[in-house]
Amino acid sequence: MKAALGQLQIVWEDKTANLKKAEAYAGLLAEQGTDLFLLPEMSLTGFSMHTDRTGERTEETVEKIQRLAERYGMTFGVGWVRDAGEYCENHYSLVTPEGRILDYVKLHPFGFGGEGEHFRGGESLPVCELGGFRIGVQICYDLRFPEPFQILSGSADLILVPANWPASRSGHWKSLLKARAIENMAYVAGINCAGKMEELYYSGDSRLYAPDGTKLKKEVLRLPGCCPEERVLVYDLQNDVHRYRECFPVKEDRREALYKKLQEET
């Protein structure tokens, strides 16, 4: 499977401009036979708490992305905001030319950034199959919580982490992505935004780790005139998770019943 991580500079709260940019890159990626094009968290708006502007009741972002998927013959990963009434939800969907195959809601609203005042957390860990991989998702701040990754890795070979993760904490981003790959023996892809947005700077640092923590090689695409940090990283992937887990069977030594017992006793 050929997968592309879209480390894009998001135009603040401008869905039209961001969709246009995504389509421009999709045209280049389609020429290379790309199967999966992944965009960052809140792909068409940035990490905005102005839910009156970003929230959707009719899922128009998913509909527009599906039209792009049909046009360019590839699957897209897109982040968007659902208006759920009193609170919103931070969604990430995988959308094929035939329709949506996965829809995940961020489990952990980012309290430090005020997300918990506007968003409620999700309560499920969906997994889908694509290109020989079983794929799950965690969004940005979810990366700091290891337990859902362990649960996901029981059925997922590739875990996507779309994000709006600022440069001031980039060291945490890189360390945690690598750690999640190693401890779960799964492929982990971090898809971050790039450049200046409102008062924050995003260094990007998107990357894809193998189950042993090796950072994979990639090709780089850039549109003319984009900011220095913006780029699309393209990887050729084969699902060999079983080989890693057979050669070094760490997961067989986990003691789930004991962990549960110790937690209950604490």
pLDDT, tens digit, 9 for 90 and up, residues 194-234: 999 999 999 999 999 999 999 999 999 999 999 999 999 99
**173, two tokens:** 């981003």
99 contacts 116 by C-beta, under 8 angstroms? no
Give the CA count within 13 Å in the CB-facing half-sphere of 48: 23
Contact of 186 with 157, CB cutoff 8 Å:
yes
How sure is the predictor about 35, in pLDDT bands with cuts at 50, 70 and 90? very high
Mean pLDDT of 138-165: 98
SS (H, E, C) 30-91: HHCCCCEEECCCCCCCCCCCCHHHHCECCCHHHHHHHHHHHHHCCEEEEEEEEECCCCEEEE
Quote the pLDDT of residue 224: 96
Please give the single-letter amino acid code of residue 107.
L
Q: How far apart are CA 162 and CA 138, in angstroms?
A: 7
What is the length of the chain?
Answer: 266
Q: Which residue in the list 15, 41, 64, 230 is annotated as catalytic?
A: 41
pLDDT > 90: what percent of the chain? 100
Backbone phi, then psi, for 90, in 5-degree steps? Answer: -95, 105
- Model-level pTM? 0.98
- According to the model, what pLDDT value does residue 99 have? 96
Query: Of 21, 106, 115, 229, which one is the catalytic site residue?
Result: 106
pLDDT of residue 25: 98
Confidence bin at 107 (pLDDT 50/70/90): very high
* Catalytic choice (15, 64, 88, 140): 140
Look up 140 and say whether it is catalytic. yes
Residue 227 annotated in active site: no
State the pLDDT confidence band at 172, using cuts at 50, 70 and 90.
Answer: very high
Distance separating alpha carbons of residues 118 and 54, to the nearest angstrom? 12
- Identify the pLDDT of residue 91: 98
Q: Tell me what percent of the residues of the chain surpass a pLDDT of 70.
A: 100
CA atoms within 13 A on the CB side of 228: 2
